[in-house]
Amino acid sequence: MLSIWGLPAFDDNYLWIVHNGKDAVAIDPGDAAVVGKALQEHGLQLRAILATHKHADHTGGITRLLADSAVPVYGSQTDQIPGLTHPVSDGERITIPELNLTLEVIAVPGHTLGHVAYYAASEQALFSGDTLFAGGCGRLFEGSATQMRASLNKLAALPADTRVYCAHEYTLSNLRFAAAAEPDNPQVAARLQHVQNLRAEQKPSVPSLLADELATNPFLRSDQHGIVATLRRECGLPEHADADASFAHQGNVGISHVRHLGLTGAGVLVTGVSHCVGQACVADHAAQALGESRCRRKLVIKRTLVGLAAARRAGQTHGLVRAGSLLEGAGQLLHL
């Protein structure tokens, strides 16, 4: 099998290198200096660049890397990847001959409309970008809640022994949310403790195993009794709401609340656990704020809590307000 390295970058990104000791592929090279240093130190020749989506922390290093190596760049035409030479589409197979590596393209709109993931069956590896995280999933910028849910279902259908190489170290906050969403799941508690130990030793928590995601990631477990019970209790989920209807309804309510409170762009995810979408999920993903600094994350949570308090004073009780305990828990995690 090939070697896969995660190169830490920025606050919490991982830039992925797949290599055979001689030739290499870079996936989501947001920082050219980080990727270039690794290639040079290990005598690797860059053969291709793969981008999951257009955000700068995933594509910012492409132009500089191309100045040193004229290699093909794969990604979505929809996302307008810098230096793109090979637009890809859902179900397409990419072959990197120097590594004898074939990857399947999986369209996963939601985070962005053109987001794709890359699955290498021979390596049992999924490069999921900002769609599926360890213990969580990415927030919506452009796609709909329905699109994100369908995208997650696609990835969940891959073999359980697939290793998920996501792009951010968000696992600890994700699992804290998972524990709130499904408090009676012993696998969540065990995984949370394991990740706490890893992070205390400054070790990465990714890649993760898809089997573990299926067992502990609330965004892949929307039909589980424990999560549904939490959502009914915390978010006012109607007794007889079906998953699709609740998913869309709760997402729309969450968006409207967030916009009303002036928090658009504040790291709020309005998808994932089908019934929870824009309410309880706010707690975790407002805290993440998509890789923004800790100071910024604190500001996001503070503003969210201020808005929550105002809503309570106004006597509002649905949606976001019912998620108050989870929001406040997110604030406590950041020692506010």
Q: Any idea which residues carry the catalytic annotation?
A: 53, 55, 57-58, 111, 130, 168
| Burial (0-12, 13-18, 19+ Cβ within 10 Å), 180 | buried
DSSP state of 303: H
Distance in angstroms (rounded) separating the CA atoms of residues 254 and 108:
22
CB of 276 closer than 8 Å to CB of 290: no
Q: How far is CA 221 from its chain centroid?
A: 15
Nearest to 303 by CA among 256, 264, 254: 264
Structure tokens, 249: 């309804």
Distance in angstroms (rounded) separating the CA atoms of residues 216 and 242:
22
Distance in angstroms (rounded) separating the CA atoms of residues 44 and 30:
18
Q: What backbone phi and psi angles, to 5 degrees, belong to 160?
A: -65, -25
Distance in angstroms (rounded) separating the CA atoms of residues 40 and 17:
13
Helix (H) or strand (E) holding 257: helix 243-260
Nearest to 50 by CA among 68, 22, 25: 25
Strands (E), the chain: 3-9, 13-19, 23-27, 45-50, 73-75, 86-87, 93-96, 101-107, 116-120, 125-129, 132-133, 136-137, 163-166, 208-209
Structure tokens, 158: 């891959």
93-96 and 136-137 strand pairing: unpaired
The amino acid that residue 41 corresponds to is E
